A and B are shown apart, each in its own frame.
Chain A
Amino acid sequence: MAKRDSKVSISIDGKERGIASKSQPSSIALTKSTMSDLEDAELVNRVLRGEKAYFNEIVNRYETSIYQYMFRMCGNQADAEDVLQETFLNAFRALDSFRGDSKLSTWLYKIANNSCLMKRRKSKFAPDKELSLTETSTHSEIESGVSIHTPAKTPIDAMLSSEFRSILQNILLDLPKHYRQTFILADIQGFRGQEISDILGVTIPTVKSRLHRARIFIRERLSNYVDIRSEL
């Protein structure tokens, strides 16, 4: 790694060792404050200049969202954690290739997707498939006038149930990967179409199509467990 000869020897445990000693508490406070105020691009510049502690701030900013993304993609903590670690290690190693023409978050998510792909290749995942709108009963349901059946639980009951969350996660895992990625980024993490397009490297119409199909798929599966017709 090109940056190992830096004068600053830093640990990523939140303690900026090497930046300020115990005799300089105000410097520590200033450094922490400065870090959190900096734009992503400036954090990257500082890490590339050898101030490795600034990578700590990058981790602080994005670990939760990338973990959440990978937890929903993988369906379990262990795999999500592996991918999270690989993502930040790969990001640090490749930081000098970050051009700044996209957002740092977009770049990190791309690395996370690649790390997830590598992990998938090592395990036995089912092959990806496409989802067709006609794969669901949606059309026939509408055309025949048949509404979804009415299970006992209301949506509010369901939301409070950890069992329900587990069911929802399993439905998510049944979605083919491309649809799952799009759905998680859009509907759980709140990314907009252009950002998802950048992260996944597909067009905005493709993002919209995948999101719509994913929603229809989940709605249909979910209707087996909860009456989702009533107002939430």
Chain B
Amino acid sequence: MNCKEVMQLLSEFIDGELDSCHCEEITAHIEQCPQCRVFFSSFKNTVKLCRECLKTEIPEDTRSRLRKRLNEENW
């Protein structure tokens, strides 16, 4: 597997959607290719950072105004 092929499969790899054969090929390539190793690490960290940082709660005033609006519509 070359660098391009590895890169195209990275999302499925980190999402656990590849069969064991592909996983082994990617793992072997990453171990011996420094550039892909760096790319893989930063790619995985990007997903993790976004998951951690972009969660948000609904503000209480937004929640209240939603209920008020639904009531006003006289449903």
Contact = CB atoms under 8 A, between A and B. Distances in A.
Given A139-B4, A142-B3, A219 B42 contact: yes
A159 B49 contact: yes
Contacts of B67: 11-14, 59
Nearest to B11: A212
Nearest to A167: B53
B35 A142 contact: yes
A93 to B, nearest CB: 8
A230 B58 CA distance: 32
Main DSSP-derived SS at the B contact region: helix
Contacts of B48: 232
A50 to B, nearest CB: 12
Interface string B1-13: 0011001101110
Nearest to A71: B56
Interface string A1-42: 101100000011110000000000000000000000000000
B41 A229 contact: yes
11 contacts: A12-B67, A12-B70, A84-B58, A89-B70, A89-B75, A139-B4, A159-B49, A168-B54, A188-B50, A215-B11, A219-B46
